[in-house]
Chains A and B, each alone.
Chain A
Amino acid sequence: KNEVEQSPQNLTAQEGEFITINCSYSVGISALHWLQQHPGGGIVSLFMLSSGKKKHGRLIATINIQEKHSSLHITASHPRDSAVYICAVRLETSGSRLTFGEGTQLTVNP
């Protein structure tokens, strides 16, 4: 079993829909990251969280430390949001290295 599990693996939405991607982890962490990866490979950091909730534009990330769960929400989705969204954690025992989930492929159709 992976230490970081994401769901769903694939998600197709219509433009304007509200989208939620979930991430669960099974170990103690010092931080959780949400990352976006476009075709071609480049990865962009969207959020870093250790507690609570963060918002940037149409993106919202939440984390529940007790339940070991985080969600990434996209409001008013747009075709340009189509990408792979990856949850990654910094384990308490592993210094600064990241452990990644498998990613969620999001496709937003016009």
Chain B
Amino acid sequence: ETGVTQSPTHLIKTRGQQVTLRCSSQSGHNTVSWYQQALGQGPQFIFQYYREEENGRGNFPPRFSGLQFPNYSSELNVNALELDDSALYLCASSLPGTGLVRQYFGPGTRLTVT
């Protein structure tokens, strides 16, 4: 149990729709990272938020956007869903810094786009 929660657990959407995924960070963690994990692959970094500001972005198009709130919970929004967006979406919270900073992962949201 990491203290990081995500909702919903599972979601089915149709191509072209929009989706919002939610993450509640571990208490005191002001940094959250979002990852996309396609079936059989390792997670890929989408972006990171630190104190409500985007703090780094991976190779994902602008239709992937995020928000972080003052209580450090966050959202991942995906517009104009495509079939390839079907994946497990993971959020991870941490304290800021480099080096040996542990990330605490949520259980993930499994998104299926049909």
Contact = CB atoms under 8 A, between A and B. Distances in A.
Interface string A88-109: 1010001111111111000000
Interface in A28-60: 30-31, 33, 35, 40-45, 48, 50
Interface residues of A, number: 26
B7 interface: no
Contact of A95 (B43, B90, B92, B98): B98
Contacts of B105: 35, 42-45
Central interface residue in A33, A42, A102, A103, by most chain B CB within 10 Å: A42
A30 B99 contact: yes
A86 interface: yes
Given A41-B90, A45-B103, A102 B42 contact: yes
B77 interface: no
B47 to A, nearest CB: 9
A41 B107 contact: yes
Contacts of B56: 94-97
19 contacts: A4-B42, A42-B105, A43-B43, A43-B108, A45-B102, A45-B103, A50-B99, A90-B99, A94-B56, A95-B48, A96-B33, A96-B96, A96-B97, A97-B48, A97-B56, A98-B35, A98-B103, A100-B35, A100-B44
Interface of A: 4, 30-31, 33, 35, 40-45, 48, 50, 86, 88, 90, 94-103
Interface of B: 2, 31, 33, 35, 37, 40-45, 48, 55-56, 58, 88, 90, 92, 94, 96-108, 110
